[in-house]
Structure 1
Amino acid sequence: MKTLKKNLKLNLGTIEALMKIPRAEFSKSTFHKLRVEIKKLNAIFNLINFCSKDFKRKETFHPFKEVFKKAGKVRELQLERAILDKYLSNNSFLDYRRIINNKLLKAQDSFFELLGKELDKRIAGKIEVLIPFIDQVNKKKAAAFIEKKKDEIEILLNKNPLTTDELHKLRKLLKTLKYSIGCISSDTRTANESEILKFTDSLGKWHDYHQALIQFEKSYDLEEIEPVEAAEISAVKLNISNKRDLLLQQILKDKSEFKFPQESDSGNI
């Protein structure tokens, strides 16, 4: 399976290159990029696991899952700090901002400590380990896997209304579908990928607004803060809530019009 093998090598190479970037040069976008590449790898592993009953997916993916979780904690705190900076004045909630900054530093320390524990040796040679299983992936099996993912998405697309958890699940399934089609496609951008991208972008923005509201609910006790700050939070929450609700209306419209990539759009394996 030349295309899958090529994309796997590219994916693993990118992950290794990102992990070797010095801490001083590791930006917010680097953490995001690393998590995206590991999500792509996870999609490949899911495909291989579907096609081979002998593939030890959990064991093989474990080192990458560790990195993903550690990077995710950093990313979560970066986003929380960004939410504070975006929606609240710079001179408000200084104590809480210090708490977030301290948590972020600890999460970064934990992440880079993991990278320093000879992690490169643990992920080295994965290509060689995976090749026998990649050879078990064929066009028929890959098509069956894609159809399975489409069926899971279709169930949610036909459900109305969708709960918050179901919207999260739909977002993840669409990304999995996008990455799965990408890993078996010889094209850099498959036909109709824009449909998936548009939908996942809308769901991603909705998720950001939803998370912002959760952070405000979780992080602040309105009875213990100054009235000015309480009023500021209330106004911000109302603004975000309105944006989230408007976006949800657009998502429901997009959901009714969504079209899957056709079989011929998936490229050659």
Structure 2
Amino acid sequence: MPSPLQKYFAQRVKNLFNHLHDFDVSAEEGALHDLRVELKKLRAVIKFLQQVYSKQKLKKPAHLLRTIFQQAGEIREYQLLQQWLRKYHLKVLEERYFPAERLHEMNADFRKQAPAFKNDLKEIIELSGRFVAHTNGILAEQYFADLHAQLQEKTSADLPSREWHDLRKLIKQWMYALNWVVPEEVGAKESVLAYFNKLQEQIGQWHDLEMVKEAFSQKQIYLSQDMEVQKDFALAWEKLTHSLKYRERQVVEMLAAQQVVS
């Protein structure tokens, strides 16, 4: 009988090819988001396997998967940036610095590579699947317990904002690993799961804004002498600063509430 990890891995394989095909056909934002989620879940499995066996044995599948994920991530970040600019009607900044044409180019380039990505995914699945098939379920439960202990330790401390994104990655890894253990363990962690899921969502919203801030910095928009750009940038910075403070406060409050979580 397949272990929870084997079932989880098999579902990832099915979903990955479906979502890659959907994006290749439609180039829709939702299809790319779904693809990235599946890539994250598969990366989580490989990261676990690297703890059980050795990083060297899984070096190639990890590298291939990271390459696909990074390219999909660049498109996703650009999509989020454009959404934020359009939300506040910052047309000048969008047209001068973050044009829609660039997103079309990125999508087209990704779709051109779809056949190569499919071959890479097949190799990733073949190489990592061998380890999944021979991994004892007890090891997955031990790994899950270790992740949970790490989460409890990190969220019990006064965590600086520079460590929030890494905390979110740890939460995601823990949430994915929850699918690899026995159902009884899942039921016992329902209230904790609700807390950590909400926390990682709050950190994600904060990190999206940090990404917008970084994009502005890289383009050095603040140096522009164009009056239209200055006007848009002043409004953008006001909205960004206000939103960041709000999101930061939400994360801080959630971290402060950790002691009520069992």
- The bucket for the TM-score relative to the shorter chain is 0.7 to 0.9
**1:202 match:** 202
Describe the SS at the equivalent of 2:157.
coil
Task: Say which of 108, 121, 124 aligns to 1:123.
Answer: 121
Mapped to 1, the partners of 2:58 and 2:118 lie a distance apart of 19
Indicate whether 1:169 and 2:195 are aligned. no
How do 1:72-221 residues align onto structure 2 when only pairs under 5 Å count? 72-90=73-91, 94-98=95-99, 101-117=100-116, 119-124=117-122, 129-160=127-158, 162-185=159-182, 191-192=189-190, 193-219=193-219, 220-221=221-222
Between 167-176 and 60-69, report the one with greater CA deviation. Answer: 60-69
Shift of 1:55: 7.5
Mapped to 2, the partners of 1:198 and 1:22 lie a distance apart of 28
Task: Say which of 250, 253, 262 aligns to 1:250.
Answer: 253
Mapped to 2, the partners of 1:225 and 1:257 lie a distance apart of 52
CA offsets 1:172-198 (integer angstroms, 9 cap, x no match): 1000110111234559x7542322211
Contact 1:9 1:127 in 2 (8 A): no
Identify unmatched segments of 5+ residues in structure 1. 260-269
Shift of 1:75: 0.6
**1:5 match:** 6
The amino acid that maps onto 1:35 is R
Mapped to 2, the partners of 1:211 and 1:202 lie a distance apart of 14
**1:62 match:** 63
Structure number having the greater helix percentage: 2
The amino acid that maps onto 2:239 is V
Q: Aligned pair in 2 of structure 1 residues 174, 76: CA closer, same or farther (>3 Å)?
A: same
Mapped to 2, the partners of 1:248 and 1:224 lie a distance apart of 36
Identify unmatched segments of 5+ residues in structure 2. none
The amino acid that maps onto 1:221 is Y
Shift of 1:32: 1.2
Q: Aligned pair in 2 of structure 1 residues 103, 209: CA closer, same or farther (>3 Å)?
A: same
Contact 1:203 1:251 in 2 (8 A): no
Q: Aligned pair in 2 of structure 1 residues 15, 155: CA closer, same or farther (>3 Å)?
A: same
Describe the SS at the equivalent of 1:166.
helix
Contact 1:11 1:40 in 2 (8 A): yes
The number of residues matched between the two structures is 254
Contact 2:168 2:204 in 1 (8 A): yes
Between 56-65 and 9-18, report the one with greater CA deviation. Answer: 56-65
Mapped to 1, the partners of 2:244 and 2:52 lie a distance apart of 43
The amino acid that maps onto 1:244 is R
The amino acid that maps onto 1:111 is F
Describe the SS at the equivalent of 1:251.
helix
Contact 1:11 1:41 in 2 (8 A): yes
**2:238 match:** 235
RMSD of aligned C-alpha atoms? Answer: 2.8
What TM-score, normalized to structure 2? 0.82
Shift of 1:238: 3.6
Describe the SS at the equivalent of 2:113.
helix
Shift of 1:10: 0.9
